[in-house]
Amino acid sequence: QDYRVFNFCAGPSTLPLPVLKQARDEFFNYKGTGMSVMELSHRSKVFDEIIETAESNLRTLLSIPSNYRILFFQGGGMGQFAATYLNLQASKYAHEKRAKLGKELVCDYLVTGSWSEGAVKECKRLGGNANLVIDTKDSKYSHIPDKSTWKLSPPEETAYVYYCDNETIHGVEFDPDAVTSIVDPSVPIICDISSNILSRPIDISKFGVLVAGAQKNMGPAGATLVIVRDDLLERPQDVVPKAVSQLPTVFDYALFAKAKSLLNTPSTYTIYMCGLVYKWVIDQGGVEGMQRLREKRSGILYDVIDKYPDFYHGFVAKQNRSSMNPVFTLPNEELSAQFLKESQELGMVQMKGHRSLGGIRPSLYNALPVEAVEHLVKFMEEFYQKHK
């Protein structure tokens, strides 16, 4: 009954077995209510306790300072491409800066893969004045250029600097302080941390906004976490900035903060599951514990890629390789198909590279047992010997 495959999916992804078991045990009758969490009102005391506990555990895990709000939205990570732009444009901070400058502010984007590319497209679609600090599309998003080449806008003209900490499709990941160490502290940094949240410590106080879809390291799909600094929630008193009229109510950070995420019906079950995962991460030694495992998993995998570089071609620059979503190709697509078929027969599934890239992408999220990677590298050794 507890049959489980090794699930390398990039998201929705594998969840910790103890979490699934607890959810199963609480499924029909959550804490004596005689109901599943799915059947509880989001206005009930029981649900209040679920969301408050989830938030306080997350606050502990990431040492989130008291001047930051924790919010849960729907609309996915993609919804936040628009929400981040519009909320920042609508803020008192941007309003005052615009007034001082006498023109529109620039939105700085670091484009290092499909997800940051999606974010900048959305900003432009909404009329934003976007500047590409870096854009590595021409080199197929295979590296992060040296900081000396970054074209950051002057701080007094910049609304924010946006980047994606880990590009889930292209397998490129920033060092934890790569961006925060170079951006002027007066400029809010927006970080899409969807696919590496809770995998290592992060200094939240260096950011304006962090966003993360639940469906990689936190829980099932359906909720999007936003961590936002209080001062960015303020709006100008007498004027309504243009961005407010474009901002859908369900993406309004200020309204959500006031309503403690319960402005409308949130994805209650996903939030409950995220809460169970937060508790599980705490029990595993917190983000430091997760970091140890993350280094172990990715270390084992990159070792075998580096051992046979002509066969397993990891095309991302070594210093920018993702520990969450390693990507590599085989000498041809027939071999890739064979690799996927044979590994699947051995219980290792959902490793197919993104449709835009091909190749193989075994995602190594928090809940993936190290044993899964040990199986995978053993298979990779054998596959190499057979097909080299």
Q: Closest distance between ligand PMP and the C-beta of residue 213, in Å? A: 4
Q: Select from 13-21, 74-82, 241-249, 287-295 the region that touches ligand PMP (CB under 6 A).
A: 74-82
Q: Closest distance between ligand PMP and the C-beta of residue 32, in Å? A: 34
Look up residue 83 and give its two tokens: 């929400």
Is the peptide bond prior to 326 cis by the omega test (within 30 degrees of 0)? no
Residue 99's nearest CA partner among 160, 186, 185, 157 is 157
Q: In this structure, are strands 224-229 and 209-213 parallel, antiparallel, or unpaired? A: antiparallel
Q: In this structure, are strands 189-192 and 106-111 parallel, antiparallel, or unpaired? A: unpaired
Distance CA 129, CA 255 (A): 25
Q: Is 275 in the site for ligand PMP (CB under 6 A)?
A: no
Judged by phi (left if over 0) then psi (alpha if -120 to 50, else beta), residue 140 lies in left
For tokens 């969807």, the residue is 194
Q: Are the CB atoms for 120 and 109 separated by under 8 Å?
A: yes
Q: Are the CB atoms for 309 and 321 separated by under 8 Å?
A: no
Which residue among the candidates 97, 108, 165, 216 is catalytic per the annotation?
216
190-229: contacts with ligand PMP (CB under 6 A)? 192, 194-195, 213
Collapsing DSSP states into helix, strand and coil, what is residue 141? coil
Q: Are the CB atoms for 253 and 87 separated by under 8 Å?
A: yes
Q: Which amino acid is at 162?
A: Y
Number of residues that bind ligand PMP (CB under 6 A): 11
Nearer to ligand PMP, 40 or 161 (CB): 161
Q: Are the CB atoms for 227 and 72 separated by under 8 Å?
A: no
Q: Say whether 216 is catalytic.
A: yes
Q: Count CA within 13 A, CB hemisphere, residue 277.
A: 26
- Out of 20, 46, 78, 126, the only residue in the binding site for ligand PMP (CB under 6 A) is 78
Q: Select from 42-50, 73-81, 123-131, 278-286 the region that touches ligand PMP (CB under 6 A).
A: 73-81
Nearer to ligand PMP, 16 or 77 (CB): 77
105 DSSP 8-state letter? P
- C-alpha distances out from residue 18 to 23, 51, 111, 280, 365, Å: 9, 20, 37, 8, 16
Q: Is 250 in the site for ligand PMP (CB under 6 A)?
A: no
What lies within 8 Å, CB to CB, of 369 at 6+ separation is: 6
- Out of 13, 14, 89, 168, the only residue in the binding site for ligand PMP (CB under 6 A) is 168
Please provide the DSSP assignment of 160-188 as one string.
Answer: EEEEESEETTTTEE--TTTTTTTS-TTSP
Q: Is 164 in the site for ligand PMP (CB under 6 A)?
A: yes
Nearer to ligand PMP, 11 or 353 (CB): 11
153 DSSP 8-state letter? P
Helix or strand (DSSP H, E) at 122: helix 114-125
Nearer to ligand PMP, 268 or 270 (CB): 270
Nearer to ligand PMP, 78 or 349 (CB): 78
Kindly write out the interface string for residues 37-56 of this chain, putting x where it contacts ligand PMP by CB under 6 A and - elsewhere: --------------------
Q: Are the CB atoms for 134 and 81 separated by under 8 Å?
A: no
Q: Say whether 175 is catalytic.
A: no
Q: Say whether 192 is catalytic.
A: yes
Q: Closest distance between ligand PMP and the C-beta of residue 41, in Å? A: 26
Q: Select from 39-47, 70-78, 124-132, 241-249 the region that touches ligand PMP (CB under 6 A).
A: 70-78
- Out of 22, 26, 74, 76, the only residue in the binding site for ligand PMP (CB under 6 A) is 76
Which residue among the candidates 115, 252, 279, 280 is catalytic per the annotation?
115
Which residue among the candidates 192, 279, 280, 352 is catalytic per the annotation?
192
Kindly write out the interface string for residues 361-380 of this chain, putting x where it contacts ligand PMP by CB under 6 A and - elsewhere: --------------------
- Out of 47, 115, 280, 328, the only residue in the binding site for ligand PMP (CB under 6 A) is 115
Instruction: Give catalytic residue positions.
Output: 115, 192, 216
Residues that bind ligand PMP (CB under 6 A): 11, 76-78, 115, 164, 168, 192, 194-195, 213
